[in-house]
Amino acid sequence: MKILAMVHGFPPYHNAGAEWMLYDMLKSLVDKGHKCVVYLSDAKESKEYEYNGIEVKIDDFEKRKEELRTTDLIISHLDRYGKALNIAEFYRKPYVLLVHNTHFYAGIGEKHKPTMHERFVYVVYNSEYTQKALHYPNPSIIVHPPVNAERVKTKRGEKITLINCWEDKGGLLLQEIARLMPEYKFIGVKGGYGHQEICDLPNIKYLENTPDIRKVYGQSRIVLMPSKYESYGRVAVEAMASGIPVIAHATPGLKESLGEAGIFCDRDKPEDWVRAIKTLDDAKTYKEASSLAVKRFAEIDAKTVQELKDFEEFLIKCINRKA
């Protein structure tokens, strides 16, 4: 297969969950001998590059006509949906929409949803939650965000970490918790999107966004996820790969990813987060929480292997159906 992905950003220069999910899915195809090309509309690099076998090019359709004619399938996500679908229709290629959330189309209008009257449109959901919430009539599958243990697994550190300091992800709550726990050390990792809430508290160390996430987890003993919204929770799965307990706000997506390994608190009650963190000071309690995290990651990892096989078969069926 020759797959063309039309997106706004891509690793390693754009580090966010949706981009890493697409990367891992495309990488699984490249590893099986398929050709994957990415077109960027918001390139942070002005030149084309290759990333672990995936060709990354600047979005210039006038120069790409032959490549568009010879591609087998087009995939995109987020704000690239409309343009990618138009290109797919023009070149009569099957189109796959990768769904990362339940609210993206709310402000755009019904006419932009992938409805059945648009031929050759397929959907890949990132969770059971997004599938149930949106329930498009198009042929679809679920592929949870793959997490490559080799990329994220490391020895644990001693700090308490929040990844993405946007307020919706808990940037202000991190500051409140740190004020209530001056004797504890915290890390705030700047996110790939959203206004970052940064302060000068001496017990919070802020790190720049990085593609080498092991550097973050290698300093972390606990990961906080007080997100207002998560359709799944890739960060939670990454943390669990290293046996790092995750304290989270109980969004439907985080409950799905964390399962019984999750420690859940209300994001509007900082004192509950303080209590949960202090509970993990007990060595026996921490060991039990860490063991649950490792067990949960193993369950997810085994499922991921099958889902990536299903993803490849799904794309092949999309292409054959179009033919």
Token pair belonging to 255: 């409950």
Residue 118: the pLDDT is 52
Token pair belonging to 54: 């995936």
**Residue 307 near residue 144, CB atoms below 8 Å:** yes
In three-state secondary structure terms, 162 is: strand
**Residue found under tokens 């987060």:** 273
- Of residues 251 and 45, the one with the higher pLDDT is 251
Residue 43: the pLDDT is 61
For 41, residues 6+ apart whose C-beta sits below 8 A from its C-beta are 6, 7, 8, 59, 80, 83
Token pair belonging to 260: 């019984």
pLDDT-derived band at 116 (thresholds 50, 70, 90) equals very low
Q: Is the pLDDT of residue 245 over 90?
A: yes
Residue 14: the pLDDT is 86
How many CB atoms are located within 10 Å of the residue 6 CB? 23
pLDDT-derived band at 86 (thresholds 50, 70, 90) equals confident
For 93, residues 6+ apart whose C-beta sits below 8 A from its C-beta are 68, 71, 72, 73, 74, 87, 120, 322
Residue 134: the pLDDT is 87
Residue 312: the pLDDT is 98
Residue length of the chain: 323
Q: What's the whole-number average pLDDT of the chain?
A: 91
**Residue found under tokens 């970052």:** 196
Sketch out the chain's domains with CATH numbers. 2-143 (3.40.50.11930), 149-301 (3.40.50.2000)
Q: Is the pLDDT of residue 246 over 90?
A: yes
Counting residues of the chain whose pLDDT is more than 70, the rounded percentage is 93
Across 273-290, average pLDDT: 98
**Residue 231 near residue 102, CB atoms below 8 Å:** yes
Residue 105: the pLDDT is 45
Across 63-83, average pLDDT: 89
Lowest mean pLDDT segment, chosen from 92-101, 106-115, 126-135, 196-205: 106-115
pTM comes to 0.90
Strand order of the β-sheet with 159-163 is 204-207, 186-189, 159-163, 220-225, 246-248, 263-264
